Structure 1
């Protein structure tokens, strides 16, 4: 089968399409024929070698790439009862130190990393859900806010930020969204009660809307200290970008969210997508052998949906 791998770190040209063996299915695992794989910032970090530089993964001869997958079950391993060949599924490949990722024609994942795909979504749309929605959901869990409290979301028009706004509203939180002025209508459509342009002086603008500052923040734009300064004393902040958490000043609680696969929760998120409560956004699709072109497009920015590879 074909797969995209990285042998030498660098720009988009570092993505190589190779013929590799079909992965074997072990006990408790499922082999999926990939119909769509979304492009995410972590994929860029894999390609450039940033994950090795930061000590998150060891250097290896071949690095697999890609986390998000939507596809069809081809084979189930011993002990798997929740899935059968032909099932349409989504899943998250959350291991970094691998030679094969979701940029491939087939992938093997643990059964508990998979969930039924949203029934009303195309494979490309479904592939945008796992990494970003689980990251947003787990970031909110770390804040431990309660209904009626206020939440700041930076990067609210992005993949994680958009889901964070929608999921926060479903939890009964009042959201202050930070994004480009051109995206105000978009993020208010996600349910944000307040809006702050990203070029504003953040703390001042937020505190004018929410005296004393918000109860918590999901810092999807990796602003760091400016985002924390907009949070009240004793509040909490979750940093989405690994290692980007600011110092916990003023008695705040600060954490990084290190996303993990969670098939059970992913199934619930897929249900929310089917109900129209989570917005699945695809900017464009590319054939698998044009992964480099997709990464070039990703580097250009200005995206309001995910780029998706189609094997």
Structure 2
């Protein structure tokens, strides 16, 4: 990876990248070629990009069995920015549009921790006016994960929903989305986060031993929907699920054998637009814990890996 030159000059761009799998020691500032803009894609000038645990898991090689990787890799899948150039057949967007996206592609290579990134139109939506650039960048992956899991389970008015790890990055958005869908929400978290969950509209319960009993005391008939955003809680899920209830996990594939769904998250411009509408209606907030400069990405990854973060870690580009 080469350095030098003026930021944004000519046919190159500033980025953070890595040439091999490893820890943050493999991550370095780079000057890389300006991305080519294919049919059905737009080029986005990045204002902010958000950190997700999958970013450093990919960097460590943890998902090598799932996805092809082309080095050098610019990490990052969450982005908010301005359309710089449109490819062939992209009537939905124009240069200058403010947009955001979960910009995952079919292989690992050109991510969002750079000045420029190409995004397929199918993944792109207009940035919500009510969100800052930092908040908009922090919404896509976590928000879509929660939204797609809850809607795939048919969550709606009259449902009682249990959310495991309700104060986490995905869980706290899941609480707000489930409330917006008309559901009653019970959320598991440590006692220190109970007031935070109440403010989001959930009834908090402490996780750990006796969880099922605590949930049953709030919902004697059982819960209709369980959203597992942490893993390792299948026994508790089955203990509180009402007859005919639905459940899914993003962290535990053993739910499939127990009648549940194992989910990841799909890029979806239309789903993201729905989340943007919720944000603009004042029904969805995105907590930002800390912002970093592009060159501080390694520090942001280490903080994310520590697991002691409430809110999104965002890089300003």
Give the TM-score of the pair, scaled to structure 2: 0.90
Give 1:9's aligned residue.
21
Question: Which of 75, 92, 113 is matched with 1:82 structurally?
Answer: 92
Q: Determine the structure 1 residue equivalent to 2:307.
A: 301
Question: Could you tell me the TM-score, scaled by structure 1's length?
Answer: 0.92
1:70-129 Cα shifts (integer Å, max 9, x gaps): 001100112211211111110111225231111111000111211111112221111011
**Partner residue in 2 for 1:285:** 291
Q: CA RMSD in A?
A: 1.7
Structure 1 position 114 matched with structure 2 position 124: yes
* 1:211-247 C-alpha deviation (Å, 9 max, x unpaired): 2421111101223323423323442211123x54435
User: Structure 2 CA distance, aligned partners of 1:295 and 1:146?
Assistant: 36
Query: Judging changes above 3 Å, is the alpha-carbon distance between structure 1 residues 245 and 39 closer, same or farther for their aligned structure 2 residues?
Result: farther
Aligned to 1:273, which of 268, 279, 295? 279
Matches within 5 A, 1:223-238: 223-229=232-238, 230-238=240-248
Trace 1:1-311 onto structure 2 (pairs within 5 A): 1-52=13-64, 55-58=65-68, 60-95=70-105, 97-192=107-202, 194-229=203-238, 230-241=240-251, 243-249=252-258, 253-311=259-317
Q: Which residue of 1 aligns with 2:8?
A: none
How far residue 297 of structure 1 moved from its aligned partner, in angstroms, is: 1.4
| Alpha-carbon distance in structure 2 between the residues aligned to 1:4 and 1:58 | 19
Report the secondary structure of 2:260's partner residue: strand
Stretch deviating more after TM superposition (137-146 or 109-118): 137-146
For the 8 Å contact 2:68–2:108, the answer to whether it is kept is no
Report if the CA contact (8 A) 1:224-1:246 is conserved.
no
Unmatched 5+ stretches in structure 1: none
> Across the two proteins, how many residue pairs are aligned to each other?
304
